[in-house]
Amino acid sequence: MSCNKGYFVGGLFVGTIIGGALGILLAPSSGEETRRKIKDGAQDTFGDAYDQAVEYGENLKEQLQDMTDSVTDKVNQYKNQIENKIQEIQDEVNQDIEELNEELEALQKEDGEAVADAAKDTVDAAKAAADDAKDVAVDAADKASDTIDSVKDAAKDVVKN
């Protein structure tokens, strides 16, 4: 639809110029008066075109700002969802580690040191895996935050220009 509007505005502009030029050229006037009329008509026409271009630019800026705000909101929403999921996983891992520690203590009492040492190694490995998972999740959240900042900066640059 905006393409049709562009054709209409362009046609209106061209028609105005042609009609004005023909009207001035066909009117009975002296050369000096005709030149003045052409000059005045051209200034009016180009002034109108300039005003329309400025208005179009302002509308475009508003649309870009709206789009930037929308994208920023969506990215922030996804970032919050990721952070909530990371916290949920962290809580589950901590609970699992706590349960493994309880089982380790029970095994130490029942089966002796060899089984307890193996279980302790398993708990330590689970803790390390949990720490690694947390680091990966934090890195992902940081990258999402960096992406948000990049999108904001790019959008601001576009709006400024």
112 sits in the region (left: phi over 0; alpha: psi -120 to 50; else beta) called left
Domain positions in the chain are 2-160
Cα–Cα distance list, 133 to 4, 8, 54, 88 (Å): 54, 59, 52, 12
pLDDT averages per 10-residue partition of the chain, 161 residues? 67 81 70 73 74 84 86 84 83 82 74 68 78 79 78 73 62
Question: What is the predicted pLDDT for the residue at 94?
Answer: 81
Task: Give the SS3 label for residue 161.
Answer: coil
